[in-house]
Amino acid sequence: METIQQRFAVTFSYPVIFTQQLFDPQNPKLRDFLSQYGERDFRKKIFFCIDSGVLAAHPTLQSQITHYFESVPTLSLVPEWLVIPGGEAAKNAPALFDQIVEAVDQYGIDRHSFVAAIGGGAVLDLVGYAAAVSHRGVKHIRIPTTVLSQNDSGVGVKNGINYRGKKNFLGTFAPPVAVFNDTAFLRTLDDRDWRSGISEAIKVALIKDKVFFEWLEANAKALAQRDEAAMQYLIHRCAELHMQHISGGDPFESGSARPLDFGHWAAHKLEYLTHFEVRHGEAVAIGIALDTYYSQLTGRLSETDTQRVIQVLHELGFKLYHPALAEQDSVHLINGLREFQEHLGGRLTITLLDAIGVGVEVHEMDTVLIQKAVVVLQGETV
């Protein structure tokens, strides 16, 4: 009998919409999206999962949402909410995953209805995963509330939870149906979270877009002083570059195409070594500094370019060293290389810099030079 060859393409499409005060009754963006999405001959539901940290900073959020949906008569707002503790803890608790699945069942959310998540990256990752596997995928809307989730994780196609301490061990590639980036949420971030997400913009600029890096240099002071207009531009451009990388490559990473992970091998390990006391964006800033010095030490990157990178990180207020980097002569840190390879599978692939705006992939790293780069970083801390 002859082999039957199956072959088909699935098209994914979603907007990332920028707005202010998403739930202001005067703001039509969410209402318009929902009323135009999908088929109109039956009544859809929408169920909200909200980050506890966001709710604490925006105590009237639930009543705003309730009020907003009074003007959307074509949709049923589920009158209950799931409030989910924010931060990495959200991804370590299988019970939270169960709660979301339970809610999908209890409130009769079907494959044409919506589960919306409002929160930081961890809450979005958890809710996105639960939505993706319930009924083999209910429609998912992301409303990221941090710089990091608005410019990076929240606009991409991944979700996931940790499994017995292994980061993102369970998850899927499942694009949302829409992302709403609401600037108003950024105002209540603490300074660490405001700064944190900026490192992903530096990352993508360094490997892809010199002009954007120059913009970051010119605006570092304004960003450090919480200039909202500058932050809006940063988020928009970073999200755009991130999304172009996904659509231009291998969106579901079925081959060996790499995600945008410059500076990330060390960042993941540092988060873990510090029990996530160092936040993701902070760890990425350190990882960028480390791999930038490493790029210089291996003769790829000029002294001038190296100093520009370090300078912009300093101006933004990032700390570029943590004692965990040097523990046991950096052996813990260097173990992170193998773990990074294991998670992505296949050959070790690390992005370095040939110049500002020019990333390059390598397949091995010299441990002595990594140790040296750590020592240089240590010297940077005054």
Among 111, 187, 192, 221, binds its own copies (CB under 8 A): 111
Nearer to its own copies, 146 or 292 (CB): 146
Binding status of residue 344 toward its own copies by CB under 8 A: yes
Nearer to its own copies, 123 or 132 (CB): 132
Binding status of residue 303 toward its own copies by CB under 8 A: no
The Cα 213–Cα 309 span in angstroms is 9
Using CB under 8 A as the binding rule, the residues of this chain from 90 to 109 that contact its own copies are 101, 105, 108
The Cα 99–Cα 77 span in angstroms is 18
- E strand residue ranges, 36-92: 44-51, 75-84
Stretch that binds its own copies, among 46-54, 71-79, 204-212, 337-345 (CB under 8 A): 337-345
Tell me the residue length of the chain: 382
List the one residue out of 171, 176, 137 whose CA is nearest residue 155: 176
Among 342, 361, 364, 366, binds its own copies (CB under 8 A): 342
Residues 6+ apart with CB under 8 A from 260: 203, 204, 207, 242, 245
The Cα 310–Cα 82 span in angstroms is 42
Tokens 């209890």 belong to 106
Measured from the CB of residue 65, what is the shortest distance to its own copies in angstroms?
Answer: 22
Nearer to its own copies, 191 or 364 (CB): 364
Measured from the CB of residue 266, what is the shortest distance to its own copies in angstroms?
Answer: 20
Measured from the CB of residue 93, what is the shortest distance to its own copies in angstroms?
Answer: 15
Binding status of residue 134 toward its own copies by CB under 8 A: yes
Nearer to its own copies, 251 or 357 (CB): 251
Measured from the CB of residue 117, what is the shortest distance to its own copies in angstroms?
Answer: 18
146-173 burial by CB neighbour count: b if 16+ within 10 A, else e? bbbbbbbbbbbbbbbbbeeeebbeebeb
The Cα 210–Cα 200 span in angstroms is 14
Question: First CA to last CA across the chain, in angstroms?
Answer: 73
Binding status of residue 40 toward its own copies by CB under 8 A: no
Among 84, 133, 201, 352, binds its own copies (CB under 8 A): 133
Nearer to its own copies, 8 or 70 (CB): 8
The Cα 347–Cα 338 span in angstroms is 10
Measured from the CB of residue 363, what is the shortest distance to its own copies in angstroms?
Answer: 9
Using CB under 8 A as the binding rule, the residues of this chain from 151 to 180 that contact its own copies are 155, 158, 160, 163-164, 166, 168-173, 175
* Per-residue binder mask for its own copies (CB under 8 A), 220-259, x = binder: ------------xx--x--xx--x--xx---xxxxxx---
Nearer to its own copies, 80 or 169 (CB): 169
Please state whether beta strands 161-163 and 178-182 pair in parallel, antiparallel, or not at all (unpaired): unpaired
Please give the single-letter amino acid code of residue 226: R
Nearer to its own copies, 17 or 355 (CB): 17
Q: Which DSSP string corresponds to 256-312?
A: SPPPS-TTHHHHHHHHHHTTT-S-HHHHHHHHHHHHHHHHHHTTSS-HHHHHHHHHH
CB 140 within 8 A of CB 125: no
Binding status of residue 137 toward its own copies by CB under 8 A: yes
**Residues found near its own copies in the complex (CB under 8 A):** 1-18, 38-39, 41-42, 101, 105, 108, 110-113, 129, 132-138, 155, 158, 160, 163-164, 166, 168-173, 175, 232-233, 236, 239-240, 243, 246-247, 251-256, 342-347
